[in-house]
Structure 1
Amino acid sequence: MTATLTRTAAGRHRTTRRTLARRRGPAAWITLTALVVLTVGILVPFALIALNAFKPPAQYSAHGPLSFPDRFYTGGIQTFWDTADFGRALWNSVLISGCVCVLAVLLSILNAYALGIGRVKGRTWILGAFLIANFLPQEGLVYPLYDLAKATGLYDSQLAVIIIFTVIQAAFGTYLLSSVLSSFPQELLEAARMDGAGRARILWRVVVPVSRPTLGVLLVFFFIWTWNEFFLPLVFLVSNANQTVPVALGTLQGQHIMNPLTTSGAALLGVFPTIIFFLIFQRTLTRGVTVGAIK
């Protein structure tokens, strides 16, 4: 009986695959081909960086950047690590990006709960202000923020960058979550109120668990966006001890003469942590996007 059911299920699976293959028209194959070409175009630069990051200088000089390394060489990476004090810069980026993503998501959910579910007076104008804030260029904010940081004694401190980026990221998160929570199921809220739950309990016991996939997506995006920021950290973090990874990569180019192998090692070290973070939270990101698509 079990063998019969197994053969039946396998036959249905093959039939389904053949049916899907027949339904794929020229447009589907063109789209698939375009995606493959795009993927290859994205991966080729990373492959070249990895090849040259572990390539001996003599081989690079003799055979160029497209040759495969004949031995595992880490001199370029070690040179960049020691020259830029990359360990400290890496810790600074992890600390700043981690604090910003957590605090920005927390502030976003609190604001969105008041605007999306609480329906405070002037909700449309407030959301419009958050939307405008998302389009303000950082170049227009740098002078008032610089003057404010100087006046409060926070200039050249990681706390200043954490506060600034928390507010910037929370502006986008508030606007997005307010739109999501405006269509929150009212049955769940009414059931919680009938059970005697207050506003705070409804937020943490009902709204946050249901919105967890969206919050996870925001957490991942806020971390990566903050990690890649260069302009404001360059202005506010002038000490070598406080610099982040992008700033360390940029300032090292102007301070020292770097060969291509050291540059490749620096680029590999700079992008590798974000790839690891993305792979760790890939399931969270996929779940959040899928839930949003289903809704």
Structure 2
Amino acid sequence: MFPKPIKKSGRFANISYRVALPISIVLWLLPLIAVMITSIRSIEDINKGNYWGWPESFNFIENYTEVFVSTSMGQYLLNSLLITLPAVAGAVALSTLAGFALAKYNFKGNVWIFAAFIGGNFVPFQILMIPVRDLTIDLGLYDTHWALIFFHIAFQAGFCTLFMRNFIVGIPDALIEAARVEGVSEWKIFWHIVLPLVRPALAALAVLVFTFIWNDFFWALVLVQSDEVRPVTAGLSSLQGQWLSSWQFMSAGAVVAAVPPVLLFFTMQRHFITGLTLGATKG
């Protein structure tokens, strides 16, 4: 029923695994390595066609400084933070409340509401482009931070609620019933009992949602058009027109844009892994 551990497989399987694994890792890392090396090349080196060879000179400080001096990269990063942090907080907070209600309250329509949250994850977001854009224009939110914040909170609610509901279901009902017998209010039960028990799940969800929203490119193009509001993903695309042949600056900008989610993951790595494996074993 379950896959056999590789150590217990045959000799051919073990040899194939040991050969295929490093090759797969190198192939997966190759584009990332190419971007990082290109970000420190000189324009002369790129014009010579030296795309994969060792750089003739290392222009680390020059290239990364130029990205911030000659472009609006600093503003793009600030915009991404102003959009991502409130959106993550709102999505996680609302989904935790919704997940608690769906997991621990038996009311009419509970299953159908939960099914609606699940079904929302399967709706292709491209078909929402025109209605969402028209809605933000009608509400006066188009080309503002709030347009992306509200959309991401709404769009991530389905996945986040599904995620949190499945974790909260595992909390023993006896804990909640004991608190109710003692006269504890529902809000205090949620705040002092449920939240501490699902803290690893909250950390894992926050990391995932932060990455989803930070890397969003489609809605950054649809709902935003000015540099004062444009996040870093859409800002990188604008560098292509400004630096038509300066791939070293575009690569440096891509590396800078990737730093915040990578730092967040390594900072929250212990909580992230704990949250993903919470409930995987019993006893």
Q: State how far apart, in whole Å, the 2-side matches of 1:196 and 1:124 are.
A: 28
Do residues 39 (structure 1) and 25 (structure 2) align? yes
1:72 CA drift (Å): 3.1
Q: State how far apart, in whole Å, the 2-side matches of 1:84 and 1:197 are.
A: 55
Counterpart in 2 of 1:253?
A: 240
TM-score by length of structure 2 reads: 0.88
Identity rate, percent: 31
TM-score by length of structure 1 reads: 0.85
Larger Rg: 1
Q: Residues 153 and 191 from structure 1, CA distance in 2 versus in 1: closer, same or farther, beyond 3 angstroms?
A: same
The correspondence for 1:146, drawn from 107, 128, 133, is 133
Counterpart in 1 of 2:69?
A: 82
* 2:243/2:249 contact within 8 Å kept: no
* 1:214/1:292 contact within 8 Å kept: no
Q: State how far apart, in whole Å, the 2-side matches of 1:22 and 1:107 are.
A: 44
Matches within 5 A, 1:132-171: 132-171=119-158
CA RMSD of aligned residues (A): 2.3
The correspondence for 2:188, drawn from 188, 201, 208, is 201
The correspondence for 2:36, drawn from 41, 44, 50, is 50
Which consecutive residues of structure 2, in runs of 5 or more, have no partner in the other structure?
none
Greater Cα offset, 284-293 or 109-118? 284-293
Q: Which runs of 4+ in 1 moved over 6 A?
A: none
* 2:83/2:149 contact within 8 Å kept: yes
Q: Residues 59 and 147 from structure 1, CA distance in 2 versus in 1: closer, same or farther, beyond 3 angstroms?
A: closer
Equivalent residues, number = 276
Q: State how far apart, in whole Å, the 1-side matches of 2:244 and 2:189 are.
A: 58
1:273 CA drift (Å): 2.2
1:32 CA drift (Å): 5.0
Do residues 240 (structure 1) and 240 (structure 2) align? no
Q: Deviations over 1:163-207 (max 9, x none)?
A: 110111121111222233233211211222233211111101111
Do residues 97 (structure 1) and 105 (structure 2) align? no
1:28 CA drift (Å): 5.2
Q: State how far apart, in whole Å, the 2-side matches of 1:22 and 1:171 are.
A: 39
Which consecutive residues of structure 1, in runs of 5 or more, have no partner in the other structure?
1-19
1:184 partner SS: coil
1:77 partner SS: helix
Counterpart in 1 of 2:50?
A: 64
